[in-house]
Amino acid sequence: MNLRVIIGIAAIFTLNGAALAANPHEGKVLTDKNCYQCHGTEVYTRKDRKVTSRPGLTKQVQRCEQALGLTWFDDQIENVAEYLNRDFYKFK
Ligand code: HEC
């Protein structure tokens, strides 16, 4: 195996690890701390909610996080998206 293949495989394992480690509990802590200045949880459950897919949820969390001027890592964004999905959106 050459080095590039090894690095490629290592990268795949790292990405998988991040996805597997998505932690909705951590996401709730982050949400409670940062996310109630502009809207509460009512936007997540309203009839005409904007987010219509699980990937869309991650994107929206990122948009709001950036609007707040936070600099979250991808895994923090994913933890929050996972929390919102578990408790509100319930996408498969
Ligand atoms: C600076 C104000 C602001 C803050 C702070 C904020 N949001 Fe938002 N958020 C918005 C606005 C504006 C919308 C769009 C609401 C609308 O269309 O009525 C929105 C919508 C959303 C939606 C989509 C709701 C739907 O219709 O499905 C999600 C999910 C969301 N925010 C998550 C978050 C999270 C997570 C945080 C904390 C990181 C956060 N927001 C903090 C302004 C904010």
Residue 92 or residue 11, greater confidence: 92
Ligand 1 center to 43 CA (angstroms)? 7
Q: How many CA atoms lie within 13 A of 16 on its CB side?
A: 6
Using CB atoms within 10 Å of the CB of residue 62, give its burial: 0 to 12 exposed, 13 to 18 middle, 19+ buried: middle
pLDDT band of residue 1 (cuts 50, 70, 90) is confident
Ligand 1 center to 50 CA (angstroms)? 10
Ligand 1 center to 62 CA (angstroms)? 10
What's the token pair of residue 63?
Answer: 């948009």
With a 6 Å cutoff on the Cβ, whether 81 touches ligand 1 is no
With a 6 Å cutoff on the Cβ, whether 68 touches ligand 1 is yes
**Digit-coded pLDDT (tens) for 28-62:** 999 999 999 999 999 999 999 999 999 999 999 99
With a 6 Å cutoff on the Cβ, whether 34 touches ligand 1 is yes
18 pLDDT higher than 60: no
Cβ neighbours for 92, distance < 8 A, ≥ 6 positions apart: 54
In this structure, the dihedral spanned by the alpha carbons of residues 16, 20, 25 and 30, taken in order and rounded to 10 degrees, is 10
The label of the residue with tokens 């929390």 reads 83
What is the reported pLDDT for 2? Answer: 73
